[in-house]
Structure 1
Amino acid sequence: MKRVGVITFHASHNYGSMLQAYALQQVILGMGDDCEIINFRTKRQKKFYRPPFFHGRWIGMIRRFFLYWKVAIPLTKKYFLFESFLQNKYILSEKEYQTLDDLVKEDFKYDIFLSGSDQIWNTVCFDFDWAYFLSFVKEGKKIAYAPSMGPKPFVKDTEENTRNIKKYISSFDAVSVREQGAADHLLTLCGVHAPVMLDPTLLLSGNYWEEMINQAPLVKGEYIFLYTPWYDEQVFLKAEMLSNLLGIKVVIAQIYEKKEEHKWRKKHNFQYLLSVGPIEFLNLCKNAKWAIGLSFHLVVFSILLQTPFIVIDGMDDSRIQNLLTLTKLESRSMPSSMSDFSQYLSHIDFKLANDLIENERQRCLKWLKTNLT
């Protein structure tokens, strides 16, 4: 039995981030190894994910509380649902680490250090840190399983960042990435042939995820589940058009703190359900009549849970493009310039999509198991 320490975006209050961290740990445990998630949570990350009325100085907090008072309770519940998932669903390291220096000072006893998935190698992420390149490791095997460099790798990287990436990548024993774009760039930059692996959420079957979902739907009746990690006007417009076409409501699980978004909260066919953590997110995905958005993990769980979906401009995002191409579902990407839904309401061959994922799943599990020995 190997002792594996995983570092990833496990504490980001983001559905995909936390579910992929959970999945990766479960897969490693299922292979018979001991696995902990290194509880690395920077101050800036913790601050960012607090409810909006807990940001800033006291005066600002009071003002924001009055701005958000109608949703203060569900937003607070949402925060604690994420924190509960973190504390109850992961096996965490005994200590919490806030800085790279904290990690450097620690005498870890892991046999293998694994840099996990999600956008941990996207240097423009607000919570990016060189710790995710395992720069703190003194001794032990170093593996990267499917980290992402974002929708467009290296577009905004500085010369210093590219030098650091080359330096840290050279110290790894095995490197894989989540998207072909990242693989191409690493080959050009470092001469490293990094195989493309599935996101950890795809290493677990749809049946596995369904077992985590409370059978009772959170929302009564038919609905369209809208999800995008950031506010996108085109996504909301397309959701409204689909709602009008199908005659069913749109359910949204977050607010975006954008003035442009306020108008949607007043729409009679838009329902905001904000007290939603990772498990509740799965419930909303599973029980939706349709899902629509601009999110890699919305596409992942729509396929795994067999929920009809439309992703807006999905083929412009390297992460989503890879998944749609793999599953032969490129037709589910709707350009934001289009307004005719007729071709997007056709039957989706989820059996073929999940069979194709299963083939890739076995390849990825074999790679992971081989490199954990």
Structure 2
Amino acid sequence: MPESVSQQTIGVLTLPLTHNYGGILQFIALQQVLTSFGYNTLLLDFQPSGGTAKAWLKSLLFQYSFGNINRFKKRYVVEQTEPIYTIQELRKVVLDRQLAAVIVGSDQVWQERFTQGNLGAYFLHFLKDDSVPKVAYAASFGTTKIETPIDAAEISEALQTFTAISVREDSGKTILADVFGYSDATHVLDPTLLLPASFYESLISEGEIKTSNPGLFAYVLDETDELRAQIDQFAESNNLSVSEIKHRSSTKIGQLLQQKPLVEQWLYEFKNAKFVVTDSYHGMLLSIIFEKQFLVVVNKKRGAARFESLARLLGLEDRLLNILNSENIQSYPIIDYSDLDSLLNVQKEASSKYLKSNLPTLF
């Protein structure tokens, strides 16, 4: 275990918290867990694609559209840095703040296409020669295999300087061993699952919610005409009304002038639903947290490994589908949450204990 330090602030490096509801939620959850351990949390607001006139103009154009999300972040992200645009700035902030440790994760921080050409930064390669403790918590590659990156040797060297490394999918352990020669990783839960439903209910209670009658909540990130028809047919055959939240308008002007829904409303729809159909990873997590009957139409374009790993861990393989058909809900086995909660609680305790035991001890 790392030796005690007087500083009590943990820096967290994750993907930019723009308009990704799941990304925002996993950070808020990790922040809450660290608070329960007695630490302060500093979001390292690394935006490698920012700092340009184009990025500034885009943020200005979408200021209204992202208003609800930005207000939520302002309310619940306790402390964050000013936007950081370069790795040099990022290292300077970490060292100047004398952070007790830096956590990288959760979310797909090791999915190269999401890192804007800065994959090594999310392996903290810029800190490999510094003494600050480094921990990866529930980091995700988002896939079962990757091409060897050009900076694999540098990443391998950086991994050896970590205090502890944990991954969100079991396949992440294989990738770390096969590609980077690191064989001591641990499989843990996404931080969103570490908190009880009551935490998310407290967030809902602070929002201006539009209530509705319980029915089928369809939370679909990549909707197609075919999937839309499947959802409508499924709902009709089971006598359920359909509610949904859409993140993007079908027109360019709509994307600018249509506000994204409240994060609190998004959470409410999961809590209120009788049944959930989703292609979202965090949609699956919230369905579990609120103990809903649900089906996941696996979003292979965004990465199936996340769904499959969690399903194996919790015995939910029968929740994953490639195509949603009009079969009656009763044809799918009912999720017994008394059994699932027992299994989930064991995983929660192990994941929380792992994280806490690998952070510097507080005085």
Query: What TM-score, normalized by structure 1, do the two folds share?
Result: 0.80
Q: 2:24 is matched with which residue?
A: 18
- In structure 2, the CA distance between the partners of 1:14 and 1:108, relative to structure 1 (3 Å rule), is same
- In structure 2, the CA distance between the partners of 1:371 and 1:26, relative to structure 1 (3 Å rule), is same
Q: For 2:124, which of 134, 138, 163 is the aligned residue?
A: 134
- In structure 2, the CA distance between the partners of 1:329 and 1:37, relative to structure 1 (3 Å rule), is same
Name stretches of at least 5 consecutive residues in structure 2 with no aligned partner: 1-5
| Aligned-residue offset at 1:234 | 4.9
| Aligned-residue offset at 1:84 | 1.2
Size of the alignment, in residue pairs?
340
Q: 1:361 is matched with which residue?
A: 348
| Aligned-residue offset at 1:344 | 4.8
In 1, the alpha carbon distance for the partners of 2:230 and 2:357 equals: 44
Larger CA deviation: 119-128 vs 4-13: 119-128
1:163 maps to a residue whose letter is A
Would the aligned equivalents of 1:81 and 1:277 in 2 still touch at CA under 8 Å?
Answer: yes
Q: 2:245 is matched with which residue?
A: 253
Would the aligned equivalents of 2:168 and 2:190 in 1 still touch at CA under 8 Å?
Answer: yes
Would the aligned equivalents of 1:24 and 1:116 in 2 still touch at CA under 8 Å?
Answer: no
Would the aligned equivalents of 2:234 and 2:324 in 1 still touch at CA under 8 Å?
Answer: no
2:88 maps to a residue whose letter is D
Q: Note if 1:165 corresponds to 2:155.
A: yes
Q: For 1:310, which of 291, 295, 299 is the aligned residue?
A: 295
Would the aligned equivalents of 1:178 and 1:199 in 2 still touch at CA under 8 Å?
Answer: yes
- In structure 2, the CA distance between the partners of 1:203 and 1:181, relative to structure 1 (3 Å rule), is same
Q: For 1:175, which of 155, 160, 165 is the aligned residue?
A: 165
For 1:20, what is the secondary structure of its paired residue? helix
Q: 1:334 is matched with which residue?
A: 321
What are the Cα deviations for residues 329-367 of structure 1, in whole angstroms up to 9, with x where unaligned?
Answer: 222122317553455554321222222111001001111
Would the aligned equivalents of 1:144 and 1:174 in 2 still touch at CA under 8 Å?
Answer: yes
Q: For 1:108, which of 97, 101, 115 is the aligned residue?
A: 97
Q: Note if 1:352 corresponds to 2:339.
A: yes
Q: For 1:209, which of 191, 200, 203 is the aligned residue?
A: 200
Q: For 2:45, which of 39, 43, 65 is the aligned residue?
A: 39
Q: 1:89 is matched with which residue?
A: 76
In 2, the alpha carbon distance for the partners of 1:200 and 1:144 equals: 12
Would the aligned equivalents of 2:214 and 2:274 in 1 still touch at CA under 8 Å?
Answer: yes
Q: 1:231 is matched with which residue?
A: 223
Q: Note if 1:118 corresponds to 2:107.
A: yes
- In structure 2, the CA distance between the partners of 1:159 and 1:93, relative to structure 1 (3 Å rule), is closer
| Aligned-residue offset at 1:244 | 1.7
2:21 maps to a residue whose letter is Y
Larger CA deviation: 231-240 vs 26-35: 231-240
Q: For 1:80, which of 58, 67, 72 is the aligned residue?
A: 67
In 1, the alpha carbon distance for the partners of 2:48 and 2:221 equals: 21
Would the aligned equivalents of 1:302 and 1:308 in 2 still touch at CA under 8 Å?
Answer: yes
1:328 maps to a residue whose letter is G
2:73 maps to a residue whose letter is L
For 2:45, what is the secondary structure of its paired residue? strand
For 1:95, what is the secondary structure of its paired residue? coil
Q: 1:66 is matched with which residue?
A: none
In 1, the alpha carbon distance for the partners of 2:86 and 2:228 equals: 38
The percentage of aligned residue pairs carrying the same residue is 25
Name stretches of at least 5 consecutive residues in structure 1 with no aligned partner: 62-74, 263-272
Would the aligned equivalents of 2:237 and 2:327 in 1 still touch at CA under 8 Å?
Answer: no
Q: Note if 1:288 corresponds to 2:273.
A: yes
Between the two structures, name the one with larger relative contact order (CA 8 Å, sep ≥ 6).
2
In 1, the alpha carbon distance for the partners of 2:168 and 2:322 equals: 24
Q: 2:358 is matched with which residue?
A: 371
1:362 maps to a residue whose letter is E
In 1, the alpha carbon distance for the partners of 2:249 and 2:52 equals: 18
Q: Which runs of 4+ in 1 moved over 6 A?
A: 45-50
Would the aligned equivalents of 1:13 and 1:49 in 2 still touch at CA under 8 Å?
Answer: no
Q: 2:214 is matched with which residue?
A: 222
Q: Note if 1:200 corresponds to 2:191.
A: yes
- In structure 2, the CA distance between the partners of 1:276 and 1:77, relative to structure 1 (3 Å rule), is farther
- In structure 2, the CA distance between the partners of 1:91 and 1:252, relative to structure 1 (3 Å rule), is same
1:289 maps to a residue whose letter is K
What are the Cα deviations for residues 25-71 of structure 1, in whole angstroms up to 9, with x where unaligned?
Answer: 11011101222111223445999999xxx759x9xx8xxxxxxxxxx
Q: For 2:286, which of 288, 292, 301 is the aligned residue?
A: 301
Would the aligned equivalents of 2:142 and 2:306 in 1 still touch at CA under 8 Å?
Answer: yes
Instruction: Indicate the RMSD between aligned Cα atoms, in angstroms.
Output: 3.2
